[in-house]
Structure 1
Amino acid sequence: MAHTAVPDHEVLIIGGGLSGIGAAIMLDRAGFSDYLLIEEGDGFGGAWHWNTYPGVGVDIPSFAYQFSFEQVAGWSRIYAPGAELKAYAEHCVDKYDVRRRSRLCAAVVAADYLDSADLWEIRLDDGTTVTGRYVISATGVLTKPKKPEIDGVDDFAGTTMHTARWDDEVDLTGKQVAIIGTGASAVQIIPSIAPRVDSLTVFQRTPIWCLPKPDAPLPGALRTGLRMVPGSKAVARLASQLYVEVTFPLAAHFHGLLPAAKAGEQLGYLHLKRSVRDPQVRQQLTPQYSLGCKRPSFSNTYLRTFNRDNVHLETRSIEAITADGVRTVDGVERPVDVLILATGFKVFDKGNMPPYPVTGTAGRGLEEFWTQNRFQAYHGVSVPSFPNYFMILGPYGYNGSSYFNLIETQTNHVIRLLTEARTRGSTRVEVTAEANADYFEKVLGRRGNQVFFQGDCGGANSYYFDDNGDVPLRPSPTLETMWDARRFPLTDYRFESVAHRTEPNPVQ
């Protein structure tokens, strides 16, 4: 099939979550209005569209969890519930005219770069194709539910639900419920459903660090003040961002220099002691790894839930799931009506990052590149041999701060490239292998102070670690990521055109 150098759209954005929405809005504001946003689901919001389980909510203060250009004052709590984040996504889609330039219920099955035309061909699950000069992959990584590798998991005769695909029509009242996993989603679900079930058995492999949550309803007077007083929303957002910065990016990436992690551990131990009455249960809930090795959680109700008579913490390994319940290695089988899988997502699993095959120049696959060379990407945005393909959540892009900082930082990086390409009349933008290698060496060189490689992470079972033992989080404070997005050397990229493939890059 022959292709011209004129694509259907200048930019294709894959993913209708907040990262895709943010990229669309920022592109439009920068003068790149010819985009198509492609979303697999039937609505916008990404995680906030798919995750509707009881208790779902943001795990950082709401004021930090919003775009800098679209700050709202109507959050009901310091930590907003999921429905409000979903509403915020829909608000942004409508206010900035994203919906008209989007295609829902369209799953991408493959992305192929056409060398001869300097464009990407995207194949969809309905058999159609669409072409774009540039692609922005905004699919995230915590999107594909991961089923536990336990014998008999498909044989259970009762109701099975993954936390990310919750069925609101299932009534848990008076039921015998089991939940496998004690990660971030489970921490929110367990205290939400415990009061209405007959019994709740929590199967824990690894205890989670749980810290007090500085949460409270936001009074109407305060929300009114935020709307009326100039600059107040910006101040609230900055304060929230500073709180997040101290509690993860600085604590995790500068563990060897700052005492924040140790102070956080002491706070965690105190919170656990004050919350759980039974010494044996308290010991079972005590993490044996350093704070920050895996994603911590914040809750004022999770630990106290284990004081309830109808809640049982089970730390013995699961031998199998039967038609009627869950059997542990000691041979005891617990009868179950509803089985909840809080077993997380496919993160570094093959076929998930991104969740469709990507073929660049000379037929090279992105997954193949990472298998051979380890996960890496220049500033988490670009990979050599994959021109015009940019990522929001690529390896070593996210530093652990507010996800909205990441969205805006990565999109600013991309906009700088597209603006330069438009100025030069270029149709192809590709990071150089040398620049990518230098950046990879830089991030690996900062491992010495990270908690992942200095702390005791051996028993954490953390999804932060990939198969190579790497943690592809960016070891940088947020201000550095923002600065780099606007100041990285343009000479780290090659700018070419279809008509002049061998044209040298102008000197910056």
Structure 2
Amino acid sequence: MSGPPVSDEELSAHLAEADVPALMMTLAHLTGDPSVLEPAALAPGWLFSEQGGLSAAQQEAAREVAFDQLTRLRSEGGWRWPDPPDFPLLREIAGWALGGDVDELLPLLAEEIIAPGADPRSPDWTAPRLAPEREFHVAVIGAGFSGLLAGYRLAQADIPFVIYESATELGGTWAHNTYPGCRTDVASHLYNYSFAPRSDWPEHFCRREVVQDYLREFAASTGVAGRIRFGTEVTELRWDEAEHEWRVQLREGGTARHHAVISAVGQLNRPHVPDIPGRDGFAGTSVHSARWEQGIDVAGKRVGVVGTGASAFQIVPEIAGTAAEVAVFQRHPPWLRPTPNYRSPIRDGARWLFENLPYYARWYRFWLFAPGLRGILEGWVVDPDHPPTERAVSGPNERLRASLSQYLRDQLAGEPELLDAVVPRYPVGAKRVLRDDGRWLTALRRDDVRLVTDPVERVEPRGIVAGGRRHDLDLIVYATGFQASGFLAPMRVLGRGGAEMPARDARAYLGIAMPEFPNLFCMYGPNTNLVGQGGSIVYFSECAAAHIIDAIRLLLTDGKRSMRVRREVHDRFNDRVDAGNRERAWGFSAVGGWYNENGRSATNWPFSALEYWRLTRRADPSDYEFL
């Protein structure tokens, strides 16, 4: 493939908007020469710095090398898509980026740096070839990222399936959450399927409607959209032991039968509304952020926002200045991660490179992935010799606290009262760390916005009472999160011998399989929430889908009718996960929240992304019992 028509001046202008580390890794790949990386020697901590912490002179030198090499390649026949890097070249490039020994990461990275159209995790078998006489069909519950992916993988394996979606639109959380300012806090180039990347994202962290459009396009182009039954809610799953099938009860009436079920309802789908005295007696309008009604108009209204988590963090700056006043009711302030480009568009030159320079988008994705592969998780690990406290759980955690505290101080110089109110009194990582471009504290400093740190006592018809004072309101927004540990709720699930799925505090092997529930698989299930390990939940869903499809392959082999994870395998895995979570900031701290409910985390994955990838690559038949 020859390079796109572009003048030297245009190329130079495009390169000026490149992410230099991603550009240099791309260059090493295209030329096959890792020595081109030398002008951009990376300092310790580069993964957490803009442009890798490179000086302006280093960046300029790197761009000059890139210009020279790219114009040379163009003159020699154009820019071509070479093969993905072999392990020796991948080792050189990844070692430059990450430092140290990277051999254990190479197989994972080889699935990331792939040519257009490649899909290394796709099944290499089909049901008609494997079991030509076998009738086997699957129910997928939910049409968000995980459900659409499950459907696509089933289609690749030529397994009949249907996706039940209770809403009238696909997208999962991106269909439900329509509040002002809603956007992803995972970088756009990470927040897509690895085998179906989008190169023309308009923003570094896209708005919800853009993410939903991506899902619509994926579902339509793959044919998965035609397998979705919208407006169809599953109310009960009941295992038929005699027939080795699941009976799927639908709210709209009727029962369907399926040989296997994949639950893709996720963790963040059922709103949590706190049980505040008098809540139902409010005379104005009240709404949960995840059930925002499009007719709501905040203009000229007195708005109370309960909570300062991820949703409130996006809502408050969006409505401040339109509402007459905003009262923000805070229980625990969030730690903020500096992200200057959080609401920034991707500049034209960078978009040109994503769309035209071979492999640049892939290496940029790796650059976004890299901090989680090396460095972030280590900051949450409890060091018993530190010793851990509610200030910090380790030396690295203390350094994170110092850095993020300074970020807050820099924005609030001369405002000691507000600063005292927004510096968290718990370790970094004990609750979700939020990306920030400065707009949160800018909003809190407005004259028409007030931060209320007194505990909420009750709701009265005219407003919320906190600290003995009533705050008169026209609209209350409950930005109070989700019932994250109720994984399959409100469905009732009855397995072998009538065993009933617990309403909360669920456990599963790999977040996927449970002993008393044969042929039932979960995606984004218990203990699969990422907390800085790199990638995104989309990546973890790809890992889970690979395991589930391979498990179905085992099930179809030799006439097996049902499979369930062995109790000892399940329990051993969960004991290790629980022990790991106790040794993380969220497990140590008493601050609570959805990362840690009642002393246990049912949501978080405490280990590396590499470990989850390894564990889910294949389904080990010795982990399961078959009938």
The normalised TM-score by structure 1 is 0.90
Contact 2:278/2:460 (<8 A) preserved: yes
Q: Unmatched 5+ residue regions in structure 1?
A: 1-5, 497-508
Q: Counterpart of 2:550 in structure 1: which amino acid?
A: R
User: Distance between the aligned counterparts of 1:71 and 1:254, measured in 2?
Assistant: 36
Q: Does the residue aligned with 1:321 lie in a helix, a strand or coil?
A: strand
Instruction: List aligned pairs for 1:250-399, cutoff 5 A.
Output: 250-252=378-380, 260-277=396-413, 278-300=415-437, 301-330=439-468, 332-349=469-486, 353-367=488-502, 375-399=506-530
Q: Which of 557, 560, 563 is the aligned partner of 1:429? A: 563
In structure 2, the residue matched to 1:502 is none
Residue 270 of structure 2 contacts residue 482 of structure 2 at CA under 8 Å; is this kept in 1? yes
Shift of the 20–232 alpha-carbon distance from structure 1 to 2, 3 Å rule, reads: same
Q: Deviations over 1:265-285 (max 9, x none)?
A: 223212211223521111011
Residue pairs, 1:34-183, within 5 angstroms: 34-183=160-309
**Is residue 25 from structure 1 mapped to residue 152 from structure 2 by the alignment?**
yes
1:419 maps to 2:548:
no
Structure 1's 7 and 336: CA in aligned 2 closer, same or farther, altered over 3 A?
farther
Contact in 2 for aligned 1:15/1:137 (Cα 8 Å): yes
Query: How far is 1:253 from its partner?
Result: 5.0
Deviation larger for 123-132 or 479-488: 479-488
| Paired amino acid for 2:204 | I
Shift, 1:303, TM fit? 1.6
Q: Provide closer, same or farther for how the CA distance between residues 482 and 253 of structure 1 changes in structure 2, counting only shifts above 3 A.
A: farther
Alignment CA distance shift 1:23-1:289 (3 Å): same
- Among 341, 352, 359, the alignment partner of 1:231 is 359
Structure 2: segments with no counterpart, 5+ residues: 1-132, 385-392
Count of residues in correspondence between the two structures: 480
Q: Mark the CA change 1:189 to 1:255 in structure 2 (over 3 Å): closer, same or farther.
A: farther
For 2:443 and 2:430, the matched residues in 1 are separated by: 24
Ranked by relative contact order (alpha carbons within 8 Å, sequence separation 6 or more), the top structure is 1
RMSD between aligned residues: 2.2
The CA distance in 2 between the partners of 1:119 and 1:268, in whole Å, is: 52
Deviations 1:183-202 (A, max 9, x none): 11001111111021111111
Give distance in 1, aligned partners of 2:433 and 2:327: 22
Which structure has greater helix proportion? 2
State the identity as a percent: 27
1:94 CA displacement: 0.6
Q: Give the superposition deviation at 1:35.
A: 0.8
Structure 1 residue 50 displacement after superposition: 0.8
**Residue 482 of structure 1 aligns to which amino acid in structure 2?**
W
> Considering only CA atoms, is the larger Rg found in Structure 1 or Structure 2?
2
| Cα distance change, pair 38–230 in 1 and its aligned pair in 2 (3 A) | same
Native 8 Å contact 2:587 2:600 kept in 1 = no
Instruction: Give the partner amino acid of 2:472.
Output: P
Distance 1:377 1:318 in 2: 36
Residue 430 of structure 1 aligns to which amino acid in structure 2? R
Partner in structure 1 of residue 40 of structure 2: none
| One-letter identity of the residue aligned with 2:422 | L
TM-score of the aligned structures, taking structure 2 as reference length: 0.73
3-state DSSP of counterpart to 1:179 = strand
